[in-house]
Amino acid sequence: MPLICLVRHGQASFGAEDYDALSDLGRAQAVAVGRELARRDLRDPHLVSGTLTRQRDTARLIAETARFRQPLRQDPRWNEYDHLALLARYAPSASHTHSVQDVLDRALLAWMAEPGAVDGTTWDSFAEGAAAAQAELSATLGRGRDAVVVTSGGLLAALCGTLLPLPPEGVVALNRVTVNASITTLAVGRSGTSLLTFNDHAHFAGHQRRLLTYR
C-alpha cells in the first residue's frame, strides 16, 4: 500500500525581514526529519513541495540527508495561506492581551465562516486545492512507490479536516499543535486515501528535544 508522508517545513524566520527563509533551527529540523525518513526506508519516493522558499529548502535538505534519488517537483497547491493577509482582514486591531496564535485561530474561524477571499483565495478553494493535490498525487503512486510532500501547517490541517472530516474548530485545533518538521502519514488504498498518523514528531524526543518548535 503506497504511503504519503506529509512533512511540515522547518521553522521559518519569524520576526525577520524575510519570514520565508528557514532559520538555523529550521535547517537542523529538516536534517533531523530527513534522517527519520531515511530510517523508514521508503520505496523510491516521489519528492514534492510547495513553491515557498521554506518548503523548497526543507525538501532539499531532506533529499540530501535521506539520499532520495527523485528530483523535487513543485506544486503551488501545497503552499500555505497568506497569514499576514488573513490577519489584516480579520484581526486588524487585535488586542495585545491575546497571543499571536489566539489571534490567528480567531481569524481562521472567521475566514472559514464566510465566503470572503484572502489575497484572492477563499477557505473553500484553499482546502479544495489541497485535496486535489493529494488526490492527484495518490493516483500517480503504484503499489511499489511512496511519496514525501513538504508543505505547511495550515494546509495539513485543512487536508486532515477533509479526510476525517472535521468541523472548523477541529481544523483550527490541528493547525494550532502542528510541529515544525513533523510527519503526517496517509495510506493510499483501493477505497481511497486514509489518515494513518498526524503530527508525528518522535524524532524530536530525548536529546533532540531542543529541536521541537511549533512556530
Cell 528557514 locates to 22
Residue 15, pLDDT score? 66
Residue 92, pLDDT score? 75
Query: What is d(CA 209, CA 8) in angstroms, rounded to the nearest whole number?
Result: 17
Q: Give the rounded distance of the alpha carbon of 64 from its chain centre.
A: 20
**Domain of residue 12, CATH code:** 3.40.50.1240
Residue 96, pLDDT score? 62
Position 102 pLDDT exceeds 80: yes
HSE at residue 154, side-chain half, CA atoms within 13 A, is 23
Number of C-beta neighbours around residue 190 at 10 A: 5
Going by pLDDT thresholds of 50, 70 and 90, the confidence category of residue 143 is confident
Name 71's Cβ contacts closer than 8 Å, sequence gap at least 6.
47
Residue 74's SS3 state is strand
Residue 159, pLDDT score? 98
Query: What is d(CA 68, CA 104) in angstroms, rounded to the nearest whole number?
Result: 35
Position 94 pLDDT exceeds 80: no
Residue range 122-151: mean pLDDT, rounded: 95
pTM of the entire structure? 0.94
How far is CA 22 from each of CA 134, 158, 178, 207, rounded to the nearest angstrom? 25, 23, 17, 22
Tally the domains of the chain: 1
Query: Which tens digit of pLDDT belongs to each residue from 33-71?
Result: 999 999 999 999 999 999 999 999 999 999 999 999 999
Residue range 195-200: mean pLDDT, rounded: 98
In which domain, by residue range, is 104 found?
3-211
Q: Which three cell numbers stand for residue 4?
A: 504519503
Position 133 pLDDT exceeds 70: yes
Q: Give the rounded distance of the alpha carbon of 15 from its chain centre.
A: 20
Residue range 65-90: mean pLDDT, rounded: 94
Q: Which three cell numbers stand for residue 96?
A: 495585545
